[in-house]
């Protein structure tokens, strides 16, 4: 179902975004690999090794015009855009009383406005195609909140509302829009934590283990194939939020 389809993945240089790009490539999809600063050339070659096209595009999704240019470039290269995965995101954690306006705004701009920007520019293409899948990356933090992450939680909660509104607006043309809410996923960020902190985090997860980036990636592929699921938030969190 995904062979020769075009998948745009934002924030795809590492972590969850990288895993998503690779999982779609394994299924035969051409990959538009968005990154903000740098990308490992080995990743591009690995993707191409699956016999698919890979178009790396540097760009900041929080910039409305840059987002439009990225979408237009992807369309010109592959003719269609079948799946958009809005994964790009940043964190600037801090207690609310100490959080600067700049730190609040920058997280909202990348995580929430960036998601809007990409949806805004891809929707016209998908409407003409009368098909398409949009997958937005939210978080358990956007559902339950978290001390020290008021900006991040606000952005991720906003993505849920954006997902549901987009799903309702585009459904009549056969376009689906869903969100994935990862819990604690093993990445470079969690690897640096002390063993005691890791154990404390695992104790709040019913499955008593961190998820893997591949768990999120496979969920994204599943949603891209599911034409009768839309407006939903899929939790990949080991049962943390029930």
Q: Domains of the chain: which residue ranges?
A: 6-236
Each residue of 157-179: b (16+ CB within 10 Å) or e?
A: bbbbebbbebbeebeeeebbbbb
The pLDDT of residue 192: 78
Q: What is the pLDDT of residues 7-57, one digit of tens each?
A: 999 999 999 999 999 999 999 999 999 999 999 999 999 999 999 999 999
Average pLDDT taken over every residue of the chain: 96
Three-state DSSP at 218 gives helix
- Is there a catalytic annotation at residue 152? yes
Q: What is the mean pLDDT of residues 202-223?
A: 97
Under 8 Å between Cβ of 81 and 8: yes
Rounded percentage of the chain residues whose pLDDT exceeds 70: 100
The pLDDT of residue 187: 87
Question: Does pLDDT of 88 surpass 80?
Answer: yes
Q: What is the pLDDT of residues 64-80, one digit of tens each?
A: 999 999 999 999 999 99
Question: Does pLDDT of 193 surpass 80?
Answer: no
Q: What is the mean pLDDT of residues 162-178?
A: 98
**Catalytic one among 35, 50, 152, 228?**
152
Kindly state which CATH superfamily the domain 6-236 is placed in: NAD(P)-binding Rossmann-like Domain (3.40.50.720)
Which tokens hold the place of 146? 């978290």
- What are the two backbone dihedrals, phi and then psi, of residue 99, each rounded to the nearest 5 degrees? -70, 130
């Amino acid at each position: 179902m995904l062979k020769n389809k075009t998948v745009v993945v934002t924030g795809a240089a590492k972590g969850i975004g990288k895993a998503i790009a690779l999982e779609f490539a394994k299924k035969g999809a051409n990959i538009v690999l968005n990154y903000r600063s740098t990308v490992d050339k080995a990743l591009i070659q690995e993707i191409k090794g699956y016999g698919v096209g890979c178009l790396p595009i540097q760009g900041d999704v929080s910039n409305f015009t840059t987002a439009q240019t990225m979408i237009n470039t992807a369309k010109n290269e592959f003719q269609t855009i079948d799946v958009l995965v809005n994964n790009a995101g940043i964190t600037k954690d801090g207690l609310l009383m100490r959080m600067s306006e700049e730190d609040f705004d920058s997280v909202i701009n990348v995580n929430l406005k960036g998601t809007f920007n990409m949806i805004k520019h891809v929707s016209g293409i998908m409407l003409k195609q009368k098909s398409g899948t949009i997958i937005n990356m939210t978080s358990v933090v956007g559902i339950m909140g978290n001390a020290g992450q008021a900006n991040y939680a606000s952005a991720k909660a906003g993505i849920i509302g954006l997902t549901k509104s987009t799903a309702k607006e585009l459904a009549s043309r056969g376009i689906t829009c869903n969100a994935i809410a990862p819990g604690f996923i093993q990445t470079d960020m969690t690897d640096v934590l002390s063993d005691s902190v890791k154990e404390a985090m695992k104790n709040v997860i019913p499955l008593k283990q961190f998820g893997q980036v591949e768990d999120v990636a496979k969920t994204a592929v599943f949603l891209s194939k599911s034409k009768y699921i839309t407006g939903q938030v899929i939790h990949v969190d080991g049962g943390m939020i029930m």
